[in-house]
Amino acid sequence: MLRKILLVENYASSGNGLQHFLEELGYEVYPALLSDKSDIEKTDNDPKDLIFSCVTEDCRREFVAFSEELATRLDVPVIYYYERKNGKDIFSTTSVEPQRIILAPLRVEQLSSTIDKVCAQHKKTGQKIPAQSEKYAAFDCLGFGAIATDTEGRVIFINSAASRITGYTHQEANGRPLKEILKLSSIPDKANSLIAAIQGQISLNSSGYAVITSHEGVFKTIEYNFDPIGGLSSGAVFTFKDVTEKLRKEKEVSLRFEFAIQHSHDIIFMTGRDYVIGYVNPQFEKFYGYSKNEVIGQSANLLRSGMLPEEFYRNFEENLLSGKNINEELVNKTKSGDFVTVEESTSPIYDWDNKIAGYITIQRDITEKKQSEELLRRAYDKAEESDKLKTAFLNQMSHEIRTPLNSILGFMSLMEEELVNKGIGDLVMYFNSINRSSMRLQRTIEDILAMSSIQIGNYYTSLTKINLENVLQLLMKDFSSLAAEKKLGLSLENKARDAIIDGDSYTIVQSFQHLIDNALKFTQKGEVKVTIYESDGLTCADITDTGIGISKEYMEKLFKPFSQEEIGYNRRYDGNGLGLAITKEYLRMNHADVYVQSEKGKGSKFTVVFFGAGSLEEEPG
């Protein structure tokens, strides 16, 4: 039983045509394009003469080795039909003879010669190989157009695909000059050269693109192959396919791409490998001030400002040549000499051989952005300097005020004690007034310094475990004399199972000191009550008073610095308007917050909620 194996590498459509062609020659063909060794091995018991197989990119070397092994085992020849890609030759490391290799694209002369040899060696006993003229019928099964001529250039065969493209039936075309069937509109002289080429008088390019006019008068673009032949017939075979729609789509994509570039707000230009400009978009002309005619053919280096070191440009060019995509900020120069800052992205453009043919550069003007950044930087530096000056001023003022104030308070205490010892007690009440005023001044200074530190962000806390009940009991003792003086009730109740919180001791004490002090200050009769309790697993504390209350209109300003509901020299209550603002910030530092409920004339309730800062170790000692 005669068997043949034809391996088609990456050219399945032509392989299908070859299958029909060989069937016309009288061979029974295995009807599948095989993809692996197991499929090929299944054909061992198949009675047909020919096996087709498509060699894929990732296993073609394996198929070559397997096919040679199978051919040796079955004592049959192997014909390889493949398309070379990127200059790669899958047979360079094998012992396959060149006469058993058919190269794509299809060349009828080579195909005929190879098949003739196979047919001579393996034709079936008693089977007649079809006459040479009958072989053209195989082309009717191909997916591309095919027209065969005699030596005078007259058509002797036209397949179905060629009829569809040209509009001529076999009866209409048979015997007519090829140049009448193929009206080459774009290159009319080529039609007149066909006969000379067929007769061997001149050489003609074997492949290319051309525009023909069909029988119906429609222009069509074809991609063709022209093969003068001797062994297969006396004449030539002209194979071609209609690429009109393909080129139309490619042109449409190209036009859209060009439209996008032309109307882009970005600066776009293209260069060759030597960085010579070949294309610029309108935005380039508008931005740099050069017309298209002025820069095309010029080196893109004309845009350099000279403000960057030469080493930068050397590295830039080396990276380009290595095929890297480059993203940089550059200072360039316009035609008028102005310096501009651009954000640039340059990428290589590759040719069909995967070699760098040039570069496309997209730039965006960031001159104003850089100027704005510089202004912001200067403003930031100035603000930082102002903060330093403010801190230095406050520290200096604190020292200059606290030092004499401490001396005044100290000597006033001594004088008061001396007067009491000498029995001049009538003057003590004046000293009490002086002492309260001094303490008020000292508290104002401390509040201003604290708020300043908070605002510039250099106030730091140290969180530890704190027993909130102990803190509030100490504050109750401190405020008991003031409550007694105003004849107000002052009480503390702990309803929580565990009043241990994570917090900074100083800021927690100061926060509750401000809240209790305010409650006593704005309450003329009744009581101030502090209650510790738990709500939804959180530790809370209410400071409730029966004081003057807070109006709804003022509520939103309550925690703003230097804010007071009553303002002016005639206000009834003293204060600097910083206490609640500082309290709010202190509690925030302790992962807590304060909320208020109040009704004018009935009193207020301030609620402190501790949200917790995670697990902390117990304070040592």
The string of DSSP codes covering 86-132 is: TTB-TTTTS---GGGEEESSP-HHHHHHHHHHHHHHHPPTTPPPPPG
**pLDDT band at residue 70 using 50, 70 and 90 as cut-offs:** low
Q: Which residue has the higher pLDDT, 372 or 13?
A: 372
DSSP letter, residue 276: B
Asked if the 464-610 domain carries CATH number 3.30.565.10, the reply is yes
DSSP 368-411: HHHHHHHHHHHHHHHHHHHHHHHHHHHHHHHHHHHHHHHHHHHH
Average pLDDT over residues 215-244: 76
**What per-residue confidence (pLDDT) applies to 585?**
87
**pLDDT in the model for residue 405:** 75
How many CB atoms are located within 10 Å of the residue 327 CB? Answer: 11
For residue 48, pLDDT over 50 is answered with yes
What is the distance in angstroms between the CA of the first residue and the CA of the last residue of the chain?
102
According to DSSP, residue 154 is labeled: B
Which of 193-202, 520-529, 564-573 has the largest mean confidence?
Answer: 520-529
Selected residue with higher pLDDT from 566 and 284: 284
pLDDT for residue 608 is more than 50: yes
Structure-block tokens of residue 112: 């005929």
Read off φ and ψ for residue 139, nearest 5 degrees. -65, -15
Summarised one tens digit per residue, pLDDT across range 268-311 is 999 998 889 999 999 999 999 999 999 999 999 999 988 888 88
Which pLDDT value is given to residue 129?
36
pLDDT digits (tens, 9 = 90+) for 95-141: 666 666 776 665 555 555 666 665 555 444 333 333 434 455 556 65
Distances from the Cα of 194 to the Cα of 164, 225, 358, 612, angstroms? 22, 12, 38, 94
Q: Cα–Cα distance between 220 and 222 in angstroms, integer?
A: 6
Among 9-18, 269-278, 586-595, which stretch is predicted with the lowest mean pLDDT? 9-18
SS3 content of the chain, % helix, strand, coil (to 5): 45, 25, 30
CA distance 185 to 182: 9
Cβ atoms of 494 and 514 closer than 8 Å: no
DSSP 58-89: TTHHHHHHHHHHHHHHHT--EEEEE--BTTB-
Q: What is the pLDDT of residue 3?
A: 46
pLDDT at 40: 54
- What confidence category does residue 596 fall into, taking pLDDT thresholds of 50, 70 and 90? very high
pLDDT class for 615, splitting at 50, 70, 90? very low
Which helix (H) or strand (E) covers residue 540, if one does?
strand 538-545
- d(CA 24, CA 108) in angstroms, rounded, equals 15
Q: pLDDT higher for 71 or 523?
A: 523
pLDDT at 397 over 90: no
Average of per-residue pLDDT across 190-204: 56
**374-382 contacts, C-beta under 8 A, 24 or more apart:** none
Low-confidence winner among 100-109, 158-167, 547-556, 583-592 (lowest mean pLDDT): 100-109
**Domains 143-247 and 265-365 fall in the same CATH topology:** yes
pLDDT of residue 466: 92
pLDDT in tens, 498-550: 889 999 898 899 899 889 988 998 999 999 999 999 999 899 999 999 999 98
Among 43-57, 379-393, 455-469, the range of highest mean pLDDT:
455-469
Q: What is the mean pLDDT of the chain?
A: 76
State residue 290 phi and psi, 5-degree precision: -90, 140
Alpha carbons 152 and 145: distance in angstroms, whole number? 20
Mean pLDDT of the region 557-576: 59
Residue with tokens 């230009």: 269
CATH 3.30.450.20 fits 143-247, yes or no: yes
Q: Residue 44 has what pLDDT?
A: 55
The listed CATH number (3.30.420.240, 3.40.50.2000, 3.40.50.1980, 3.30.450.20) that belongs to domain 265-365: 3.30.450.20
Statement: residue 474 has pLDDT above 60: yes
Q: What is the pLDDT of residue 618?
A: 38
Best mean pLDDT range from 343-357, 417-431, 527-541: 527-541
Instruction: Return the CATH number of 4-130, one of 3.40.50.11230, 2.170.150.20, 3.50.50.60, 3.40.50.2300.
Output: 3.40.50.11230
- Say whether 366 sits in a helix, a strand or coil: coil
> Do β-strands 339-350 and 326-333 pair in parallel, antiparallel, or remain unpaired?
antiparallel
What are the sequence ranges of the domains in the chain?
4-130, 143-247, 265-365, 371-456, 464-610
Poorest-pLDDT segment among 412-421, 464-473, 519-528: 412-421
Phi, psi of 496 (to 5 degrees): -85, 145
Range name among 53-62, 177-186, 357-366 with the lowest pLDDT average: 53-62
pLDDT higher than threshold 80 for residue 247: yes
Q: DSSP secondary-structure letter at 107? A: -
Average pLDDT over residues 346-373: 86
More confident residue, 282 or 143: 282
* Per-residue model confidence as pLDDT tens digits over 147-157: 888 877 788 88
147 in Cβ contact with 162 (< 8 Å): yes
Percent of the chain residues topping a pLDDT of 90? 22
Which position has the higher pLDDT, 400 or 231?
400
